[in-house]
Amino acid sequence: MLGVFRYNDKLGRRLVVILRGFPCSWGKCTFCPFALEQSTSTSRVIEDNRRIIAEALRELERDPVERVAVFNGGSFHELPYDSVERLRPLARGRIFEVEERSEFVTMNSLEALVEYYRPRRLVVRVGFETAFEEIREGLLRKGMPDSEMHRLSRLRLEARERGLPVEIWTYLLFGMKGISEESVAESLRVFKRLFDGVIAVRYRKYLPSHPEPAPVSPELASLLEREADLVDWGEEQWVIAGRRGYAPGRSGVERS
Ligand code: SF4
């Protein structure tokens, strides 16, 4: 669902700005719902995003917050320049969060984002989903091997050594058939060691071709609530192109 949303949760008072994106350059993840809201029309992407960013700026003026996340159902670097430019006043001096596929995250791209936006802190969220490569590449088809996970883990340390105010967080997917609860617990342990933050996201099936959901035990729920930086159980407002999904339970789509 596109638009501007306010949250007050474990990450504090924050604004989440969901923009329209172009189709993701990877576009192969087996569980991805974002194609439902992407557009190949440049004018549509630009016009929708102008409207949403203007609304976000009005919201910030009305009630300022220190943390702003911008998502576009793909990678931040795939946004049109018109949107990139208009986001500057939202990011400046704030904790500014974006999503990227791992291949967009390099020392040069981090330096360029910090230089351009001048955030207090830049948080880059990357959807590694699981620490198990066979699940990530076999079941999920993420196209982000373990080597990328370790590259980004090192990169965040190197960036900080250069004085860049940068953090790299990852998403952790749970509640899907084929991703055991044991693997989720182990992924959480590995991710906490490799990254600056972990956001656990409950899977929700949006299309018939998507993998099946799985129930979540109270034990896993409580572990995630205790140990993850945020658990996205999904809320009723997370609707992709009018679809609430096929599974019982709630959605989690604040992710790429
Ligand atoms: S889940 Fe993210 S990386 Fe995968 S195809 Fe969808 S937008 Fe692209």
Expressed as residue numbers, the domain containing 62 is 3-232
> Rounded CA gap, 240 and 36, in Å?
7
Residues in the chain: 256
Query: Among 25, 26, 100, which residue has the most ligand 1 atoms within 8 Å of its CB, making it the best to mutate?
Result: 26
> What pLDDT digit, counting tens, does each position of 101-157 carry?
999 999 999 999 999 999 999 999 999 999 999 999 999 999 999 999 999 999 999
3-state secondary structure of 138: helix
Count of structural domains, the chain: 1
Residues 6+ apart with CB under 8 A from 181: 174, 216, 217, 219, 220
> Rounded CA gap, 84 and 78, in Å?
9
Is residue 162 within 8 A of residue 133, CB to CB? The reply is: no
* Cα 28 to middle of ligand 1, angstroms: 7
> What pLDDT digit, counting tens, does each position of 158-191 carry?
999 999 999 999 999 999 999 999 999 999 999 9
Instruction: Check residue 235 and give its pLDDT.
Output: 60
Instruction: Check residue 234 and give its pLDDT.
Output: 78
Instruction: Check residue 5 and give its pLDDT.
Output: 94
In the predicted structure, residue 236 carries a pLDDT above the cut 50:
no
Q: For residue 10, is it within any domain?
A: yes
In the predicted structure, residue 43 carries a pLDDT above the cut 90:
yes
Q: For residue 148, is it within any domain?
A: yes
Q: For residue 141, is it within any domain?
A: yes
Residue closest to 172 by CA, chosen among 219, 230, 211: 230
> What pLDDT digit, counting tens, does each position of 60-105 carry?
999 999 999 999 999 999 999 999 999 999 999 999 999 999 999 9
Q: For residue 247, is it within any domain?
A: no
CATH of residue 82: 3.20.20.70
Instruction: Check residue 251 and give its pLDDT.
Output: 32
Instruction: Check residue 34 and give its pLDDT.
Output: 87
Q: For residue 202, is it within any domain?
A: yes
Question: For 202, how many CA atoms within 13 A lie in the half-sphere containing its CB?
Answer: 22
Instruction: Check residue 249 and give its pLDDT.
Output: 30
Q: For residue 245, is it within any domain?
A: no
Instruction: Check residue 33 and give its pLDDT.
Output: 87
Question: For 199, how many CA atoms within 13 A lie in the half-sphere containing its CB?
Answer: 24
Q: For residue 52, is it within any domain?
A: yes
Is residue 209 within 8 A of residue 223, CB to CB? The reply is: no
> What pLDDT digit, counting tens, does each position of 205-222 carry?
999 999 999 999 999 999
Query: Whole-model pTM?
Result: 0.92
Q: For residue 112, is it within any domain?
A: yes
| Ligand 1 binding pocket, CB closer than 6 Å | 24, 26-29, 32, 34, 73-74, 101, 127, 256
In the predicted structure, residue 238 carries a pLDDT above the cut 60:
no
Residue closest to 188 by CA, chosen among 145, 247, 234, 231: 231
> Rounded CA gap, 58 and 101, in Å?
29
